[in-house]
Amino acid sequence: MAIDYNKLMSRKFERLEHTFTEKDTILYALGVGMGIDPLDEQCLQFVYEDGLKALPSMANVLAYPGFWAKEPDTGIDWVKILHAGQEMIMHKPLPASGTVEATTKINEIVDKGEGRGALILSERTVRDAATGEDLCTLISTTMARGDGGFGGPAVPSPKPDPIPERAPDMTCDLPTLPMSALIYRLSGDYNPLHASPSVATAAGFKAPILHGLCTFGVATHAILKTLCDYDPARFHRIRLRFSSPVYPGETIRTEIWREDDAVAFRCRVVERDVVVINNGYAEVS
Q: Please report whether residue 159 resides in a domain.
A: no
Residues 63 and 176 occupy one common structural domain? no
CATH number at 98 reads 3.10.129.10
Q: Please report whether residue 149 resides in a domain.
A: no
What's the pTM value of the predicted model, to 2 decimals? 0.94
Averaged pLDDT, 187-213: 93
Residues 203 and 135 occupy one common structural domain? no
pLDDT at 32: 98
Q: Please report whether residue 136 resides in a domain.
A: yes
Residues 123 and 233 occupy one common structural domain? no
Q: Please report whether residue 162 resides in a domain.
A: no
Among residues 189, 211, 229, 231, which one is catalytic?
Answer: 189
Residues 140 and 177 occupy one common structural domain? no
Q: Please report whether residue 165 resides in a domain.
A: no
Residues 103 and 205 occupy one common structural domain? no
Lowest mean pLDDT among 48-57, 156-165, 268-277: 156-165
63-68 contacts at long range (C-beta below 8 A, 24 or more positions apart): 63/16, 63/17, 63/18, 63/100, 63/101, 63/102, 63/124, 63/126, 64/16, 64/18, 64/188, 64/189, 65/13, 65/14, 65/16, 65/104, 65/124, 67/191, 68/13, 68/104
In the chain, count H helices and then E strands.
Answer: 6, 11
Domain residues for the domain of 225 are 170-284
Q: Please report whether residue 150 resides in a domain.
A: no
Q: In the chain, how many domains are there? A: 2
CA separation for the pair 192, 196 (Å, rounded) = 5
Let me know if 194 is a catalytic residue. Answer: yes
Let me know if 169 is a catalytic residue. Answer: no
Q: Please report whether residue 119 resides in a domain.
A: yes
Residues 113 and 179 occupy one common structural domain? no
Residues 228 and 119 occupy one common structural domain? no
pLDDT at 260: 75
Averaged pLDDT, 112-130: 95
Among residues 111, 194, 211, 221, which one is catalytic?
Answer: 194
Q: Please report whether residue 232 resides in a domain.
A: yes
Residues 204 and 239 occupy one common structural domain? yes
The more confidently predicted of residues 261 and 80 is 80
